[in-house]
Structure 1
Amino acid sequence: MNGKAATRGEAHLSTRTRLERGRTALGPALELVHTGRAPTRAVLTAELGVTRATAGAVAAELEALGLISVDAKPSAAAGSQGRPSHRLSVAGAGPVALAAQVHADGFRAALVGLGGRIVATAPGCETIDADPAQVLGSVIEAGAQLLRETGRRCVGAGLAVPSAVAEPEGTALNPLHLAWPAGAQVREIFADCVRDAGIEGPAFTGNDVNLAALAEHRHGAGRGARDLLCVATGHRGVGGALVLDGRLHTGSSGLALEVGHLTVNPEGRPCYCGSRGCLDVETDPLAFLAAVGVEPSPEGLLVQARRLVAEEHADPAVRTAIEALIDRLGLGLAGLVNILNPDRIILGGLHRALLEADPERLRAVVADRSLWGRSGGVPILACTLDHNSLVGAAELAWQPVLDDPLGALG
């Protein structure tokens, strides 16, 4: 009798232990599916280091929360033997995060699901008001309209801005290419707008290039990199970001990697920071258009510059401008390689277009000017995600769910 009771107690303890382990594993499991690293239950089991039964329970719990889909009867690949493992994917009709981005040429709102999938977008105006509250109120209204139209549950909101965002205050210290005042309380204003619109969930704010790097590391060209350097130029200016062991390196107060203010042309243009010849004013779309000798058009600086690089490559003036900007960009990247020793570099915005126009020239400049470049080379790749800053803003809103799915949604 006592032996049977002990056996029942052990079985009960085992079940309870499996349940506790399963709940602890919910967040890590969701992140594995979210980033595409666990396409099957077998892979999930191995990655989590749990039993098949526990992995199955975890997958079932995430499916019940509406976060993932489990295909229990996937078709087997031709020539394979045995029963294929259950396939896991993010839920196509699951919750979304509201993502917002503000830049010099306008704003955009989007709904982004797990897996970095953009569900819907709403481009905004081309003129950015000098009042942050006015702009952020408009972009949140555009996002709220998308939520009404789709009927999706919202887990939270994230905002990408073209400025360093100081922590923990959430202030935009230097929105140089917007008419916003330095030190604008963007996180507080954004959170107020989200609350006033009746949108559920927390609100977050970050620098646009930081968020682009986060998105690319999880879903794009940066996947698998341990020390990832991202340098990008959007509509105006240049930004940089570093992802170390899967986490953004933002420094002691959120202000790390202001790479736009590396000097690459000492006799170059005056920079907004007070220096001269910085990457920020020597390799952005406005600098490219000036080097070509054309005036900005209504289509927007980034769109116009990309079009010229792609379609007018044979024009001598365009070709000369491409080479000049590549040389300046390469000089800046070489300095960053010497300091940071990344295992991969990804380029976005106009820099992506410059890389694609003449990859050998850019890689040669970096290799020639950097100690580590000469010793083996650092892969330099183009960013692959459309609207990666928006996807990164959504990642901020998704993070509490990835940390604790039951706590955030249960």
Structure 2
Amino acid sequence: MNGKSTTTRTKLERGRSALGPALELVHTGRAPTRAVLTSELGVTRATAGAVAAELEALGLIKVDSSPGSAAGSQGRPSHRLSVRDSGPVVLAAQVHADGFRAALVGLGGRIVATVPGCVAVMADPAQVLGEVVEAGAQLLRESGLRCVGAGLAVPSAVAEPEGTALNPLHIAWPAGAPVRDIFSACVRAAGINGPAFTGNDVNLTALAEHRHGAGRGAQHLLCVATGHRGVGGALVLDGRLHSGSSGLALEVGHLTVNAEGRPCHCGGRGCLDVETDPLAFLTAARREPGPEESLLKQSGDLLRAEYGDPAVRAAAEELIDRLGLGLAGLVNILNPDRIILGGLHRDLLEADPERLRAVVADRSLWGRSGSVPILACTLDHNSLVGAAELAWQPVLDDPLAALA
């Protein structure tokens, strides 16, 4: 083979190896133009142009045919890059204590269509997952879009590599249910193409927020959030979820924040899980939970509508102090550069941000945790978007192979 052919092949291989990184840059909004893509990839303009053109040919992104530049900028105008609205999607599903939700999610974390279902989660995970996948399959049939994978978020630690839900405590599923296998079988039975993945809902919240929301740009992102019941945590390190040796890292709900507190289902007492979740807030505010809405919605509505009520304010301050104690301990151990809060914790932060930040700073070893930004999660349905990220990952890793 002559030198020219070798050089051509080398450039082609280099360009193809850049497809995944380039797609991730556009997917996460970090490369809005071809000039930025060139800089981020560290390649020539010609290579970046070829990579963008190939991603466009695959139906994944759109390259603006009319280059433009922002007012006041200097230099050559650059082609704008964006994800393709009519491109492929993934099926995302979430199961929680009050039901499930299915969605079609495109690149960029964009929810194309979504549908909620059922108000009571049955004890048979196969029945529930069959229903949520069928709801997603109906969305696919109506949309006519190509599906390249599926992801599921569940309110339980998910053991790796088995894909079993170890502790679905707030839904009636048996411990150790093989949710990944069940979900994969339902996806295949529905005729949906692509691999299927399963993860813990708070882990997936963190992943979604890191790529598309309040956590974007953080190197070491700590996420702590309430669900309909309980508290979960997650850590993103250098863009990847830190799930530990078997998928069980960051079970922050069982950090003790009140030694004389409420009994916890883990066998301990005064855990974050039972001291700062929606039920704990309603109880501290002396409100009887109603059956018509989720505890998460009831607690959030109460906090926003009646914060001036002395009992509600006292309950909020009690939970903020305990949450701050837990966050300070996590900061001392993990040293994150950003904290994001979801669920009721987001509402508590917004109700009294200075109190929460002061508690965290006061409890840190050197006062350094007071400088760690504490932000509210910003995405709607972030666990769903995170489930979609699991399904998109093979495409981000190798678009050509995933779409073949």
Q: TM-score, normalised by structure 2?
A: 0.97
Q: Secondary structure at the match of 2:199?
A: strand
Change over 3 Å in CA distance of 1:373–1:210 after alignment to 2? farther
Separation in structure 2 between the aligned mates of residue 203 and residue 381 of structure 1, nearest angstrom: 31
Corresponding residue for 2:341? Answer: 347
Are the counterparts in 1 of residues 328 and 369 from structure 2 also a CA contact under 8 Å? no
1:381 aligns with 2:401: no
Separation in structure 1 between the aligned mates of residue 387 and residue 74 of structure 2, nearest angstrom: 43
Distance apart, 1:236 and its partner CA: 0.7
Are the counterparts in 1 of residues 362 and 370 from structure 2 also a CA contact under 8 Å? no
Corresponding residue for 2:295? Answer: 301
Are the counterparts in 2 of residues 227 and 343 from structure 1 also a CA contact under 8 Å? yes
Q: Secondary structure at the match of 1:199?
A: coil
1:327 aligns with 2:321: yes
Structure-to-structure mapping, 1:17-96, within 5 angstroms: 17-96=10-89
Distance apart, 1:107 and its partner CA: 0.8
For residue 165 of structure 2, the aligned residue among 165, 168, 172 is 172
1:399 aligns with 2:356: no
Separation in structure 2 between the aligned mates of residue 407 and residue 336 of structure 1, nearest angstrom: 40
Are the counterparts in 2 of residues 72 and 85 from structure 1 also a CA contact under 8 Å? no
Are the counterparts in 1 of residues 215 and 338 from structure 2 also a CA contact under 8 Å? yes
Corresponding residue for 1:312? Answer: 306
For residue 112 of structure 1, the aligned residue among 105, 113, 129 is 105
Separation in structure 1 between the aligned mates of residue 130 and residue 287 of structure 2, nearest angstrom: 35
Structure 1: tracts of 5 or more residues without a match: 1-5
Separation in structure 1 between the aligned mates of residue 133 and residue 97 of structure 2, nearest angstrom: 17
Separation in structure 1 between the aligned mates of residue 335 and residue 75 of structure 2, nearest angstrom: 45
Distance apart, 1:76 and its partner CA: 3.5
Distance apart, 1:243 and its partner CA: 0.7
Q: TM-score, normalised by structure 1?
A: 0.96
Are the counterparts in 2 of residues 341 and 372 from structure 1 also a CA contact under 8 Å? no
Change over 3 Å in CA distance of 1:55–1:170 after alignment to 2? same
Corresponding residue for 1:3? Answer: none
Distance apart, 1:77 and its partner CA: 2.8
Corresponding residue for 1:183? Answer: 176
Structure-to-structure mapping, 1:142-221, within 5 angstroms: 142-221=135-214
Bigger radius of gyration? 1
Are the counterparts in 1 of residues 99 and 121 from structure 2 also a CA contact under 8 Å? yes
Separation in structure 1 between the aligned mates of residue 96 and residue 294 of structure 2, nearest angstrom: 11
Change over 3 Å in CA distance of 1:258–1:375 after alignment to 2? closer
Q: Secondary structure at the match of 1:275?
A: coil
Distance apart, 1:376 and its partner CA: 5.3
Q: Which amino acid is 1:356 matched to? A: E
Are the counterparts in 1 of residues 364 and 370 from structure 2 also a CA contact under 8 Å? no
Separation in structure 2 between the aligned mates of residue 67 and residue 276 of structure 1, nearest angstrom: 50
Separation in structure 2 between the aligned mates of residue 161 and residue 295 of structure 1, nearest angstrom: 27
Q: Secondary structure at the match of 2:18?
A: helix
Separation in structure 1 between the aligned mates of residue 136 and residue 256 of structure 2, nearest angstrom: 39
Q: Which runs of 4+ in 1 moved over 6 A?
A: none
Distance apart, 1:372 and its partner CA: 4.3
Structure 2: tracts of 5 or more residues without a match: none
Change over 3 Å in CA distance of 1:186–1:373 after alignment to 2? farther
Separation in structure 1 between the aligned mates of residue 75 and residue 336 of structure 2, nearest angstrom: 42
For residue 290 of structure 1, the aligned residue among 259, 283, 287 is 283
For these two proteins, the number of residue pairs brought into alignment is 403
Change over 3 Å in CA distance of 1:348–1:376 after alignment to 2? closer
Separation in structure 2 between the aligned mates of residue 41 and residue 291 of structure 1, nearest angstrom: 54
Corresponding residue for 2:230? Answer: 237
Corresponding residue for 2:128? Answer: 135
